[in-house]
């Protein structure tokens, strides 16, 4: 066994090793680039033929990953994208980077993980390393993946190797890219962990080995639950402060001057992104198996989920004080990406705000320099809008504008000069008199 592991580690060290990455989105594509950069041959798998075609043509479909990097990748001879999952057996390691969304009832939707595991099982061969990176509840790796692979008659830790190593991708974060973020990893056995660590140590600054996949799965959930609960806290305090006539952003900034015991979190229009609005509910669901209710998670979800409706309520209130009804009003939403300076709209609170405004009879449009078209969303299939140019004429034509995502490209002074009413969910227009700007 030791000699088998040593042989595989030696191949990793010599880069005589093919890495397959399943799911070429915001997590998988950066991983493709990083493994390719350090000298591996990389196979990318995706069910979307448009992604496959664009990558093989050297084109990027993710804004913060420039096309020149993708072009270098595709022209190197060490990368190929494919939709042919019969080729999974060609890879020595397979990283599973597929979505793990929620159902409408906030239960885990693991269909993509299960379908991928079944596809891997069909081609599984001795020596392969399988790494699940998709965020999920503790137990997924050993309860859903391991039995499917062992059914092939192979022994984990001897014939094949299985680990969980959660993605920690932060799209658009130039300071913390994949190479410098420590990688948490839990193997089903010591041999699994050893081989997984050898592979990931080639692309990251530090690998943190934990006792099991369950510990690694819980680690990822803990990171995101921590943020979700603290954001819910400041969102609740924002609503209370609004009633009390207190500027919550000023209070947070003042509290942040304390050099210990306080970390600032800031309120907003709701949670967005691929992790924080979703991942906590994976643990909530699993906790029921153990007879527990995760009260903090449930309450935080309730508060954060209510934020888009609260923002729309502030719009209604602000228009009413100016003698205008939301029904029939022209409203421009500024920013539909879930955070500044990227094109990622997954779970963006702007989608819910746009939908609620429409339901109240508003004539809704949006402006976003990174998202030319807003359509095709899982829970908002009826949304199909094209971005308006952010000009003085566009702004003046509105009854209200709502700043949802504070992109650096937005000309705040242009907006301030020409908007009749600004509803600010990000404190971007601080210091502007309340007759012009309403905090939300």
- What does the alpha-carbon distance between residue 373 and residue 385 come to, in Å, rounded to a whole number? 6
Copy the structure tokens of residue 154: 């192979």
- What does the alpha-carbon distance between residue 146 and residue 268 come to, in Å, rounded to a whole number? 40
- Please say whether the beta carbons of 58 and 67 come within 8 A: yes
What structural domains does the chain harbor?
Answer: 2-214 (3.40.50.720), 246-439 (3.40.50.720)
- What does the alpha-carbon distance between residue 124 and residue 196 come to, in Å, rounded to a whole number? 17
* Predicted pLDDT of residue 274: 80
Nearest to 120 by CA among 157, 98, 145, 100: 145
* Predicted pLDDT of residue 1: 61
Give the pLDDT of the chain (440 residues) as one tens digit per residue.
667 899 999 999 999 999 999 999 999 999 999 999 999 999 999 999 999 999 999 999 998 888 899 999 989 999 999 999 999 999 999 999 999 999 888 899 999 999 999 999 999 999 999 999 999 999 999 999 999 999 999 999 999 999 999 999 888 888 888 899 999 999 999 999 999 999 999 999 999 999 999 999 999 999 999 999 999 999 999 999 999 999 999 999 999 999 999 999 999 999 998 888 899 999 999 999 999 999 999 999 999 999 999 999 999 999 999 999 999 999 999 999 999 999 999 999 999 999 999 999 999 999 999 999 998 787 888 899 999 999 999 999 999 999 999 999 999 999 999 999 999 999 999 887 777 899 99
User: Catalytic residue at 275?
Assistant: yes
Nearest to 343 by CA among 306, 318, 372: 372
* Predicted pLDDT of residue 337: 95
DSSP-based three-state secondary structure for 154: coil
* Predicted pLDDT of residue 290: 96
Other C-beta atoms within 10 Å of 242: how many?
17
Matching residue, tokens 């509105």: 398
pTM of the model: 0.93
Other C-beta atoms within 10 Å of 33: how many?
21
* Predicted pLDDT of residue 64: 84
Catalytic residue among 97, 192, 275, 374: 275
DSSP strand pairing (373-377 vs 380-386): antiparallel
Nearest 5 degrees, angle CA 284-CA 285-CA 287? 65
- What does the alpha-carbon distance between residue 183 and residue 407 come to, in Å, rounded to a whole number? 29
């Amino acid at each position: 066994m030791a000699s088998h592991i040593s042989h595989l580690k030696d191949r990793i060290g010599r880069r005589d090793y093919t890495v397959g990455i399943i799911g070429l989105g915001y997590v998988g594509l950066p991983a493709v680039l990083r493994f390719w950069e350090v000298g591996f041959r990389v196979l990318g798998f995706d069910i979307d033929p448009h992604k496959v075609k664009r990558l093989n043509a050297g084109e990027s479909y993710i804004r913060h990953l420039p096309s020149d990097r993708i072009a270098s990748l595709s022209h190197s001879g060490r990368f190929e994208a494919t939709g042919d999952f019969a080729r999974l057996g060609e890879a020595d390691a397979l990283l599973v980077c597929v979505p793990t969304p929620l159902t409408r009832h906030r239960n885990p939707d693991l269909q993509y993980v299960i379908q991928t595991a079944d596809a891997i099982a069909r081609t599984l061969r001795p020596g392969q390393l399988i790494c699940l990176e998709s965020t999920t509840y503790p137990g997924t790796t050993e309860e859903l993946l391991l039995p499917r692979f062992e059914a092939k008659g192979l022994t984990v830790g001897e014939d094949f190797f299985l680990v969980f190593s959660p993605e920690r991708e932060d799209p658009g974060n130039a300071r913390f890219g994949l190479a410098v973020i420590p990688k948490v990893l839990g193997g089903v056995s010591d041999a699994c962990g050893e081989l997984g660590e050898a592979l990931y140590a080639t692309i990251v600054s530090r690998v943190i080995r934990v006792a099991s996949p369950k510990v690694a799965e819980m680690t990822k959930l803990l990171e995101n639950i921590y943020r979700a609960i603290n954001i819910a806290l400041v969102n609740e305090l924002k609503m209370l402060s609004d009633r009390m006539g207190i500027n919550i952003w000023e209070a947070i900034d003042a509290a942040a001057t304390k050099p210990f015991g306080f970390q600032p979190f800031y309120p907003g229009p709701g949670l967005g992104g691929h992790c924080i609005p979703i991942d906590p509910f994976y643990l909530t669901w699993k906790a029921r198996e153990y007879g527990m209710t995760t009260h903090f998670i449930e309450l935080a979800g309730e508060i954060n989920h209510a934020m888009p409706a609260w923002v729309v309520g502030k719009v209604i209130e602000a228009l009413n004080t100016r003698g205008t009804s939301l029904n029939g009003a022209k409203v421009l939403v500024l920013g539909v990406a879930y955070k500044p300076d990227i094109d990622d709209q997954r779970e963006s609170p702007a989608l819910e705000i746009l939908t609620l405004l429409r339901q109240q009879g508003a004539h809704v449009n949006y402006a976003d320099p990174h998202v030319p078209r807003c359509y095709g969303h899982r829970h908002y299939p009826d949304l199909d809008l094209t971005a308006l140019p952010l000009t003085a004429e566009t702004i003046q034509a509105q009854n209200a504008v709502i700043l949802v995502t504070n992109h650096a490209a937005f000309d705040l002074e242009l907006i301030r000069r020409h908007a009749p009413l600004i509803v600010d969910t990000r404190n971007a227009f601080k210091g502007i008199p309340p007759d012009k700007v309403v905090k939300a």
